[in-house]
Amino acid sequence: PPTHTAAELNNLVHRAHAAGLSVVIHAIGDAANRAVLDAIEQAPEGARSLPDRIEHVQLLHPDDVPRLAQLGVVASMQPIHATSDMDMADRYWGTRCQYAYAWRSLLDSGAALAFGSDCPVETLDPLAGIHAAVTRRRAGGQPGPEGWIPGQRLTVAEAVDAYTMGTACASGETHLKGSLAPGKLADLVVLSRDIFRIDPDEILDTRAEMTVFDGQIVYRTSA
């Protein structure tokens, strides 16, 4: 059951927007996501410095896919959830799964994707998430070469962008983070392989050789 009634949710979002605050709301099912989008649509625009955000966005009705972009709502999603939960999703959502973990549909609609891990529920490793976003397969290859609902797969570049610029967009820090550019923080990793060129399955065997935080080396392998 929902944590809040529609009236309660509408009131909370209205009060937040009226006070100049953005909302971050967890929603998984298609009804929950529609309720959140309805509440945001009905609330006053307000003078907010950050975009509204929905955490998880795991299932959408096709009519609601374009609404995130239309309302400026960030889709904060965790790619590893798709491969972890696909059996359960098929069991309970059936044909609705065509719009489950719908990264391609959301990105093509113009929505901002912000990828994360949901750690400690899932692994903190972003490379595992990138692999899931690109292949929609588990480490063992399930459910097959094309992956689960392959039409929702992303390219490596799109997945990396969701982990970098997408998250900077969600935090209102695109001027400071998300890309390597003059005036921004030098936050980066040096990987053991070029994930833009290797077979996507090899992403899982890729490791961080060096981590740079704000221009300072904070980790490097002993080799």
What are the pLDDT digits (tens) for 85-143?
A: 999 999 999 999 999 999 999 999 999 999 999 999 999 999 999 999 999 999 999 99
Distance CA 210, CA 43 (A): 45
Would you call 201 helix, strand, or coil by DSSP? helix
For residue 128, give the 3-state DSSP assignment: helix
Supply the pTM of this predicted model: 0.93
What pLDDT does 3 receive? 86
Query: Other C-beta atoms within 10 Å of 106: how many?
Result: 23
User: Nearest to residue 35, comparing CAs of 7, 55, 15?
Assistant: 7
